[in-house]
C-alpha cells in the first residue's frame, strides 16, 4: 500500500453531506473552534453560515494550486468520519483510492491488515 498522495477523492466524495459528526465533536467545536461550529445547523455539518443550505463539499478542503492534490485546513480538528477513513479495502476500491497497489488487489486480506496498521493511530481501539 502506498502513502496517501492527497488526491482528495475521499474528501470530494464524502466531504459534503456524506459526513456525520458526534455530539462530543460538536461541543468541542462550539467551545474551542467557533469558526467550525459556524458551519453547523441542527446537528449537521457544512451548512452555509449565511443561508443554512447544505454545502456541496467541505469548506475546509483546499486544492493545491496547479496540482491535483488537496489539503485540509482543519486536519487536526476534522470530523471523526474523516479521521477513520478509509475503513475497508472494498471502500478504497470503490472510491478508486490511489493508495492501493496491484498486490493489494491480489491479496485483499493482507491489504486490509496493512490498512488497519496504517490507520491504527486514527481509529478508536477495537473492543
Cα separation of 89 and 49, whole Å? 36
Confidence grade of residue 124 (pLDDT, cut at 50, 70, 90): low
Confidence grade of residue 47 (pLDDT, cut at 50, 70, 90): very high
The predicted pLDDT at position 126 comes to: 57
Closest CA to 24 of 77, 85, 97: 77
Q: Tell me the mean pLDDT in the region 78-82.
A: 90
The tens digit of pLDDT for each residue in 3-29 reads 889 998 888 888 777 788 999 999 999
Give phi and psi for 3, each to the nearest 5: -70, 155
Cα separation of 38 and 25, whole Å? 13
The predicted pLDDT at position 81 comes to: 87
The predicted pLDDT at position 116 comes to: 87
The tens digit of pLDDT for each residue in 93-116 reads 998 999 999 999 999 999 999 888
Cα separation of 1 and 104, whole Å? 7
Residue 98 cell numbers, joined: 490511489
Amino acid at each position: 500500500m502506498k502513502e496517501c498522495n492527497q488526491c482528495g477523492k475521499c474528501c470530494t466524495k464524502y466531504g459534503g453531506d456524506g459526513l456525520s459528526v458526534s455530539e462530543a465533536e460538536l461541543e468541542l467545536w462550539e467551545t474551542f473552534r467557533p469558526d467550525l461550529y459556524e458551519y453547523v445547523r441542527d446537528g449537521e455539518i457544512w451548512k452555509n453560515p449565511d443561508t443554512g443550505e447544505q454545502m456541496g463539499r467541505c469548506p475546509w478542503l483546499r486544492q493545491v494550486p496547479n496540482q491535483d492534490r488537496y489539503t485540509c485546513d482543519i486536519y487536526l480538528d476534522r470530523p471523526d468520519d474523516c479521521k477513520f477513513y478509509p475503513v475497508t479495502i472494498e471502500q478504497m476500491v470503490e472510491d478508486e483510492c490511489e493508495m492501493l497497489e496491484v498486490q493489494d488487489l491480489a491479496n485483499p486480506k493482507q491489504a486490509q491488515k496493512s490498512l488497519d496498521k496504517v490507520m491504527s493511530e486514527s481509529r478508536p481501539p477495537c473492543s
